[in-house]
Amino acid sequence: MKLIIHPLNSSKTISWASGTSTELFVCPPDGDFQTRAFDYRISTATVEAEETHFSDFTGLTRILLILKGKLTLIHAGRYSKELDTFDQDRFDGSWNTSSKGKVQDFNVMFNENYDASVVHLFLQTNKSLEIALDESKTFLFIFNGKFEINDQLVSAGDLIEIETNGSERTDVYCIESGNIIKTVIERI
């Protein structure tokens, strides 16, 4: 098992029309968000305007999970969805999408060569959780709290990248209660 910690201070933040976006991980490493030249991207963002329109990401699937706040996602001609803290929606990046509400969110975008899943995990102080891993790439985003993973101390803002060569397990021990966002990326 290979475990790489990407601390928040190594991430780059850009401004967009209604807030900011902090890139936690992009594949390939020289992938470019602005030109949409990437296979997959993991980020957090703030939505600072009460109403906003999402950029066109044709060719990409998006998963959006709310970290703080409440948001109404409106996919024109399709459906609307109310999202509360830790709720998520998966949608086509080409859809005409707008939103209402100010939030902090977690985003995963990926092209047709990949699939992804996102799960929210909450751990209380002095509790542990065993996470099953397979040949897919797994990421653990520490939203808040302090944890120990494979004898490595991690805290708020860290993104842990885990690669395996087969079925393995890792233990997450909670030092200070908090929330982890687990993302699994699979090549299809």
Question: DSSP characters for 72-129?
Answer: EEEETTTEEEEE-TT-EEEEETTS-EEEES-EEEEEEEE-TTEEEEEEEEEE-TT-EE
CA–CA distance, 32 with 30 (Å, rounded to integer): 6
> Which domains, and CATH codes, for the chain?
11-112 (2.60.120.10), 115-187 (2.60.120.10)
For residue 147, count other CB atoms closer than 10 A to its CB. Answer: 24
Per-residue pLDDT of the chain (188 residues), as tens digits, is: 889 999 877 677 777 777 888 999 999 999 988 888 999 999 999 998 899 999 899 999 999 999 999 999 999 999 999 999 999 999 999 999 999 999 999 999 999 999 999 999 999 999 999 998 887 899 999 999 999 998 899 999 999 999 887 788 899 999 999 999 999 999 99
Question: Which residues are registered as beta bridge partners of 18?
Answer: none
Question: Which residues are registered as beta bridge partners of 105?
Answer: 45, 66
Say what the pTM is.
Answer: 0.94
